[in-house]
């Protein structure tokens, strides 16, 4: 069981940070944000999954469960390390400051990282070269397969691994050996990019810890089909003879969608993973804990039971609940790694079995205020909050609080909010912040969009909508917005400031 002090923090993905190169990165904007958190009495920075994104740009559908998103690498930090010159960045395009244009930013980042690699390979500084070799050695469990996977995807014009030659698809040892030899330079480039991400993120984490800021990372329960993980561990997934999923993950009809959500991720063969001692899961948790202090596991309820959808079905309606791995998985992880600094995303259809699994391991759960307002028994209302939980105004999947109030809340709900509060709502954002701060839950988290009072235009994700997500960014001006003063005031008023922690 992890012990969290009464505290508060901000949800902001690094891609949303300010910066000059088309996407938030781990440079000046990230360090300024840590300083901003410190100044506002916040002690938690929560991020979304940090992996390398693919089609659709979703951090929940990545090319690896272990690798980092190399688009987050700061070019200015590479200049400091001597891996780029300032002149190398003179051709930086006029990227938009308030959103990410992935189609424009990613090729530019790939070009500059390749240039940095060639400079490193041509004249490696001894200290950097040693650090690179050490990183490769320490991450052998996943790094070799990932680097080869990315090199082969480039060779095959980004086609999914199921469209490769059968020898590579089936991982024939001779074919893999030949590919490693033919793609040696590309493989080393990918190792280099992962090393740079790890190096810069580790430095940022150390800086944050020095400021009293702890990081909450995010771990999706399922992985993308077109990923190094599925390609390298095919026997641990329900796949047909061609490598395509026979059944896929999703959720039944819910708050977000009347037809449910058909995620498309392949499902684990938990019996095979159990027979292997859950090694892949232990290594996955171990790797992420090198980057963050706590792990929020997305769709935690899938460990108790998950929604299995035949791959041939166009929606999630015709699925079924299938028993998950349950306690033995967490027992194996705890036996290997010790205390579980895990937060359970226990939203959606939650059963007594899910609650028991969460509580047996002392894992904090989540409460979302946007979901709270349909009657006094609602578990998301503050008087029903458990102490061992985190309360949010909304999450990355919700509208902003202002957007929710303006576009999604009906008159009946407005009347209940007024009745519950005992007064009219003057400013919904800071009203919800005050309600969340007042909660008995140990931790309160507020998306940065809410601090800035932004509407629906600043929403990070719309579940079930394939395009246009994950693009929102802040500018440097956001860090001077007067919302910071309200945040600091409420943090002190409700004894969540670090100076007030026992």
**Active site residue ranges:** 298, 345, 397
**What is the C-alpha to C-alpha distance for residues 68 and 109, in angstroms, rounded to an integer?**
14
Q: Which of 326, 372, 363 is nearest to 345 (CA)?
A: 363
Is residue 29 within 8 Å of 18, Cβ to Cβ? Answer: yes
Spatial neighbors of 406 by CB under 8 A, at least 6 apart, are: 455, 456
Phi/psi for 49 (5° steps) reads -55, 145
Q: Hey, is 134 helix, strand or coil?
A: helix
CA distance to 50, 140, 221, 239, 347, per residue, from 265 (Å): 18, 25, 10, 11, 19
**What is the C-alpha to C-alpha distance for residues 18 and 76, in angstroms, rounded to an integer?**
13
**What is the C-alpha to C-alpha distance for residues 493 and 451, in angstroms, rounded to an integer?**
17
**What is the C-alpha to C-alpha distance for residues 499 and 495, in angstroms, rounded to an integer?**
9
Question: Which segments of 45-183 does DSSP mark as H helices, in order?
Answer: 75-80, 102-122, 126-138, 140-155, 166-169, 173-182
Phi/psi for 278 (5° steps) reads 55, 35
Q: Hey, is 191 helix, strand or coil?
A: helix
Q: Hey, is 265 helix, strand or coil?
A: strand
Q: Which of 445, 441, 397, 430 is nearest to 255 (CA)?
A: 397
Task: Tell the burial category of 240 from Cβ atoms under 10 Å away from its Cβ (0-12, 13-18, 19+).
Answer: exposed
Task: Tell the burial category of 80 from Cβ atoms under 10 Å away from its Cβ (0-12, 13-18, 19+).
Answer: exposed
**What is the C-alpha to C-alpha distance for residues 296 and 220, in angstroms, rounded to an integer?**
8
Spatial neighbors of 415 by CB under 8 A, at least 6 apart, are: none
**What is the C-alpha to C-alpha distance for residues 26 and 294, in angstroms, rounded to an integer?**
19
């Amino acid at each position: 069981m992890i012990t969290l002090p009464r505290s508060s923090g901000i949800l902001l993905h690094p891609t949303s940070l300010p910066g000059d190169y088309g996407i938030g990165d781990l440079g000046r904007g990230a360090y300024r944000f840590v300083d901003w958190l410190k100044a506002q009495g916040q002690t938690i920075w929560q991020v979304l999954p940090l992996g390398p994104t693919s089609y659709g740009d979703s951090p929940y559908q990545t090319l690896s469960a272990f690798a980092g998103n190399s688009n987050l690498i700061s070019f200015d930090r590479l200049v400091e390390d001597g891996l780029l010159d300032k002149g190398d960045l003179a051709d930086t395009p006029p990227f938009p400051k308030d959103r990410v244009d992935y189609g424009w930013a990613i090729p530019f980042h790939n070009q500059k990282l390749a240039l940095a690699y060639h400079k490193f390979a041509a004249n490696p500084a001894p200290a950097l070269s040693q650090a690179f070799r050490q990183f490769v050695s320490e991450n052998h469990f996943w790094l070799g397969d990932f680097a080869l996977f990315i090199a082969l995807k480039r060779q095959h014009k980004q086609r999914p691994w199921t469209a490769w030659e059968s020898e590579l698809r089936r991982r024939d040892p001779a074919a893999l050996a030949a590919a490693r030899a033919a793609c040696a330079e590309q493989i080393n480039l990918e190792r280099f990019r992962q090393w740079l991400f790890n190096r810069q993120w580790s430095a940022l984490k150390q800086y944050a810890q020095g400021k009293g800021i702890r990081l909450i990372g995010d771990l999706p329960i399922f992985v993308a089909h077109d990923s190094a993980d599925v390609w390298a561990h095919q026997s641990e997934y329900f796949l047909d003879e061609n490598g395509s999923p026979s059944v896929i993950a999703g959720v039944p009809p819910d708050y977000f969608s009347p037809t449910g959500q058909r995620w498309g991720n392949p499902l684990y063969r938990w019996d095979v993973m159990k027979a292997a001692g859950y090694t892949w899961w232990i290594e996955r948790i171990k790797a992420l804990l090198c980057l963050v202090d706590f792990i929020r596991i997305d769709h935690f309820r899938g460990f108790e039971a998950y929604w299995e959808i035949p791959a041939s079905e166009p929606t999630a309606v015709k699925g079924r609940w299938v028993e998950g791995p349950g306690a033995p998985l967490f027992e194996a992880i705890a036996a290997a790694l010790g205390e579980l600094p895990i937060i359970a995303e226990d939203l959606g259809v939650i059963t007594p079995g899910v609650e028991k699994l969460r509580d047996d391991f002392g894992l904090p759960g989540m409460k979302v205020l946007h979901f709270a307002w349909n009657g006094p028994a609602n578990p998301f209302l503050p008087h029903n909050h458990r102490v061992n939980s985190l309360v949010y105004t909304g999450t990355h999947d919700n509208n902003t609080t202002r957007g929710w109030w303006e576009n999604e809340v009906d008159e009946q709900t407005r009347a209940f909010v007024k009745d519950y509060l005992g007064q009219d709502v003057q400013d919904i954002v800071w009203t919800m912040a005050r309600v969340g701060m007042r909660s008995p839950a140990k931790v309160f988290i507020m998306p940065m969009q809410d601090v800035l009072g932004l509407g629906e235009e600043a929403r990070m994700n719309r579940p079930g909508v394939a395009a246009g997500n994950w693009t929102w960014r802040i500018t440097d001006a956001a860090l001077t917005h007067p919302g910071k003063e309200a945040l600091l005031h409420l943090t002190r008023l409700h004894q969540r400031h670090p100076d007030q922690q026992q």
